[in-house]
Every structure is written in structure tokens, then in C-alpha cells.
Amino acid sequence: MSNTVSIFDVVESPWQSVLELVRQECNDFFGDAIIDTVNFEGMSDGYALLTVPDELRENWVKVHYGDLLRKAFKTVLGTNFKDYRIRQVAHSAPVPEIQIAAPMAPPIPAVPRVKRVVKRRPKLNLYPNYTFENFIEGECNSTAYKACKAVSENPGDPALNPLFVYGASGLGKTHLLQSIAASVQKNRPAANIVYCHAYDFLRDATAVAKALKGRTGNVREMAEAFQEKYEKCDILLLDDVQLLEKGIQTQERLAILIRHLRAVGKQVVLSCDCHPSKFTIADTREDAKKCVSSGIRCVSTKLLAPIESCVAVGIDEPDLQTRMRLIQKMAISVPFVDRDRDEIYRFLSIPRRQNVRVIEGMLNWLGAMNLFCQENLDLNAVKRLTAPNDSSARSELTLKGIAETVAFEFDTDLISLGSKRQDAGVALPRKVAMFLCREMTTESLQNVGAMFNRDYATVIAAIQSLKKQMDKDESLARRVQDIRYLLEA
């Protein structure tokens, strides 16, 4: 029968010969550990029938061993070999033994049972304050926060798996990933969570690859440890994946791992400093080196596919309200003068800050000045201490600089402020600019008026009019004060 499967015994099977050829040329990551999980079931119509226990190994064999297996089978079987077929087969349960009555044997002394050693999961290296409760949510990070919160409540949900959190350094990506780990650890103690930095993954992957290539150390044990850690986790949280850009082979291993975890319903969360669309494809080490030297983010084709299929959520630079809430929360222990505390928070929040680390560093500096220099941290002292120390960074306020800042804050331009227009969209910012020019510089009224094509009498009238408006309108007074803080900073 042409469709029957011919089963070889151990002596006649070509599999051992094929294995020897594969092992001679194989220099892949999992090496013998992967090969040992592949079983040979025989030949059918010129096709070698192979089985593996799960999808991860099936993908790995197809990607890394496909051509090598075909070459080896062709060498052993010649023209009788067409190709191989591979399928997943779960490990079969042991066949129960048939109990046959036998003559009673003399009792055998009981041997003490050896206690089974239970492997303890490594302790997660988390910052205790990196929780959802301590994360400041704002317009700049709301989507990312809600997505990560949803993942922590329902890990493995296909709608958010894999999840890709991106944003510049210091905006809270690590805080969110560690918050997921802390939340799941608290609510699901049995969950196997792996949180690690990209360098940790690169180190683990490279260590096994080098050991295999150099035939040093216990390669099998190292490969099994890698599999135990990464393949069998319930949640993989990998931080700063852009740091893998030089490790093309490591990227490919990560791609297969992501597909495997996703296929078995396990959650994957990645963080990166840019959106997936910003990556350039680089499939060789030479391409990767060129991209890195040029400052271009690069990724291999095999990793780009699972990354592009991720749900990508971004974190932006903190806006004013978020900066305000961050400073209020982080500055609780800083001994600001109580009467000025709210205004200090406002003053420190007005200038744009690139990230949370800049804010934290500024508050730490103020606290240190109080501790070591006995500075009384009132509003004036905070203004002085946060002023640029570098003379090149410090610039004197000019009439033009003040006018340009006011125009920008009111969404108008310098030409309009100096025109004859009297509509509210120009008249109000012109008054504010004149008021701040008079308050923050030593220029004469004539010079201030000349800046806006007005005489000094008009400047006086405009300033008095604005003061009356601010007395009646607290929001306008607050806005003018915020612009002043911005100019002082």
C-alpha cells in the first residue's frame, strides 16, 4: 500500500544518521535541547514524519532547522526523500501495567523517600513605589495607564496581547510595567511573572549562544534554564526593547518567544522609546551597525512582524496639569514654607519639563539645599535656586522677549500686538505684555510704548485697565501670574 507508514526499528531507522549530520552543522540557540524533543515516526510516500511537543518547537524547527534537516535526509535517503512533515503531539500518558498475581516475596526494607526539591521562582526586582496607586494619570498618559491596568486585571486578553508601551525616556514606561507585575503578583500569587530589562534578556540569550558555539559549560542545562524562565511564564514584561537593536539573533529568538506565548494565551508587554513605525529593517549585523552608528532605530524582519501586531499605546511629555499633580505628590516631604507652598507648586509646574526624572531631580536639589545649606524654601528662594547657574543659559529679559512670550501664550503674534487692532484677541494680550514689560524690566514708559507703537500715556492707561480687570477676574490674574512665572524661570 502506497499510503502506509513504514516504521523502522532502531537499527534500520535513518533518523540516527540524520541526527548526527544535523548536530555536526547545528549552531543554533537551543541546540541539543530542541533536537531532543523532535521524534521520528517513519516515512510515508517519501515524506519524513516528525513530531514535536508544542508550537514553539515546531516554529523553531521550521525556521532554524528546515534546510538543515532536508539536507541531512537527502544525504541519508537520496532520491527516496521528498520533504519532511512536522506536527504537534502532546506527550502520551504512560501505559498502565497489568497486575499479575505472583508468589509472595520476602519484604524489602523501606528506602527513605527523597524529598522533591521545589524550584523557587526568582524574586521580582521591583521598585516598591512603582504601583498603579502611585502613578499620576493625565492627558499625556491616560491611554497607556488604562491599557496597562486592563492587562493587570485580565492578563492574556487577546484584545491587548501583546501590548506595546512607547515614549521617551523618563515618562513612566517602567513604572507602568512594574505596576502590572505588582498588581498581578498581589491578586494572582500563583502567576509566573517575568519582568526584566532588555539587557537581561540579551545577556541570557547570548550566554547560551556563546556556550553552544564554544562547546563550553553545560549547554543543555543553560538552555533548559532559559526555557524554564521565559517559555513557561504567564506574563512576560520586557523593558526597553530598543536596546536589542544590535542583537539580530536575539531579536529572532524574542520573536519566536512572543509568538509562542501569545499562542498559548500568555501575556506579553513590551516597552520601547519609539513607535514600531519608527524602526528600520536590518536583518544582518552589518546593517544593524550602520543603523546604530547613524542613530537610526533598527529591528529584524522577524521581530518587526510581532511588534507591528502589538497594541501600541504612547506616553507624551507631561502637560501642565500632570506636572502640577506630579510636583504636589513628589514634593510632600520637601520643607517648603507653608504659606508659599501652593504658589511654589505652581511656579515649578509652569515651565515645560521633558520628563518625570527632571522634576524629581529638581525637587531633590531643593531638599538638599534646605538640608545642607539651611535654605528657607519660600517662593523667592525657590526662584533663586532654580535659576540657571550657567551664565550662557541665563538671559536678561527684554521687551521683545516678553512680548513674544505673551503673544505665544495668547495664541497671537508680535506684529498684531503692535498693530492698531482693538479686538479682544489682541487688546488683552497687548495690555498683559505692557504690564509685564513695566513690571519685569527697568525700561521707561516711552520705550515700552515704542515697542507696541503707542505713547507712554496709552501704556499707563492699559496697565491700570488690566489691574482693574485682574481684581475682578481671578482666572485672568492667575494667567498673568503664570506667564510671569514662565518668564522668571
Asked if the peptide bond before residue 162 counts as cis, ω within 30 degrees of 0, the response is yes
Report the alpha-carbon distance of residue 219 to residue 36 in Å, rounded.
Answer: 13
Let me know: does 176 contact 145? Beta carbons within 8 Å.
yes
Helix (H, G, I), strand (E, B) or coil at 144: helix
Looking at every residue in the chain, the average pLDDT score rounds to: 82
Task: Answer yes or no: do 252 and 164 share one domain.
Answer: yes
In a domain, 68, yes or no: yes
Residue 87's DSSP bridge partners are 51
Residue 470's domain comprises 399-488
Report the alpha-carbon distance of residue 199 to residue 193 in Å, rounded.
Answer: 18
Let me know: does 30 contact 227? Beta carbons within 8 Å.
yes
In a domain, 115, yes or no: no
CA angle 397, 403, 404 (to 5 degrees): 95
Quote the strand ranges of 265-370, DSSP E.
267-272, 280-281, 298-299, 311-314
Task: Answer yes or no: do 481 and 406 share one domain.
Answer: yes
Mean pLDDT of 56-68: 76
Q: Whole-model pTM?
A: 0.67
In a domain, 165, yes or no: yes
Task: Answer yes or no: do 267 and 296 share one domain.
Answer: yes
User: Lowest mean pLDDT: which of 79-93, 218-232, 267-281, 447-461?
Assistant: 79-93
Task: Answer yes or no: do 241 and 266 share one domain.
Answer: yes
- All three cell numbers of 401, joined, read 522677549
In a domain, 6, yes or no: no
The string of pLDDT tens digits covering residues 216-249 is 667 778 888 888 899 889 999 999 998 887 788 8
Nearest to 401 by CA among 445, 365, 353, 451: 451
Number of domains forming the structure of the chain: 4
* CATH for 410: 1.10.1750.10
Residue 236's DSSP bridge partners are 194, 268
Task: Answer yes or no: do 408 and 424 share one domain.
Answer: yes
Domain boundary among 314, 337, 352: 314
Report the alpha-carbon distance of residue 178 to residue 195 in Å, rounded.
Answer: 7
In a domain, 112, yes or no: no
Instruction: Give the pLDDT score at 110.
Output: 58
Half-sphere exposure of 351 (CA within 13 A, CB side): 18
Task: Answer yes or no: do 149 and 298 share one domain.
Answer: yes
Domain boundary among 386, 411, 432: 386
Let me know: does 351 contact 383? Beta carbons within 8 Å.
no
In a domain, 61, yes or no: yes
Distance of CA 314 to the CA centre of its chain: 10
Buried b (16+ CB within 10 A) or exposed e, 183-196: bbbeeeeebebbbb
* CATH for 55: 3.30.300.180
Task: Answer yes or no: do 355 and 421 share one domain.
Answer: no
Task: Answer yes or no: do 51 and 70 share one domain.
Answer: yes
Query: Cell 504567564 maps to which residue?
Result: 234
Task: Answer yes or no: do 379 and 460 share one domain.
Answer: no
Task: Answer yes or no: do 251 and 368 share one domain.
Answer: no
Report the alpha-carbon distance of residue 207 to residue 241 in Å, rounded.
Answer: 18
Report the alpha-carbon distance of residue 406 to residue 430 in Å, rounded.
Answer: 8
Query: Cell 527632571 maps to which residue?
Result: 358
Report the alpha-carbon distance of residue 65 to residue 29 in Å, rounded.
Answer: 11
Q: Burial of 220 by CB count in 10 Å (0-12 exposed, 13-18 middle, 19+ buried)?
A: middle
In a domain, 433, yes or no: yes
In a domain, 392, yes or no: no
Report the alpha-carbon distance of residue 9 to residue 441 in Å, rounded.
Answer: 98
The string of pLDDT tens digits covering residues 178-212 is 999 999 999 999 999 999 999 999 888 888 777 77
Helix (H, G, I), strand (E, B) or coil at 39: strand
Task: Answer yes or no: do 202 and 286 share one domain.
Answer: yes
Instruction: Give the pLDDT score at 3.
Output: 45
The string of pLDDT tens digits covering residues 305-359 is 888 888 999 999 998 889 999 999 999 989 999 999 999 998 898 888 878 888 8
Let me know: does 86 contact 61? Beta carbons within 8 Å.
yes
- Cβ contacts of 424 within 8 Å, gap of 6 or more: none
Nearest to 165 by CA among 203, 129, 121, 135: 135
The string of pLDDT tens digits covering residues 21-51 is 777 776 555 556 677 778 888 888 888 888 8
Domain boundary among 88, 112, 147: 88
Q: What DSSP state is assigned to residue 238?
A: E
Nearest to 449 by CA among 466, 465, 430: 430
Task: Answer yes or no: do 375 and 466 share one domain.
Answer: no
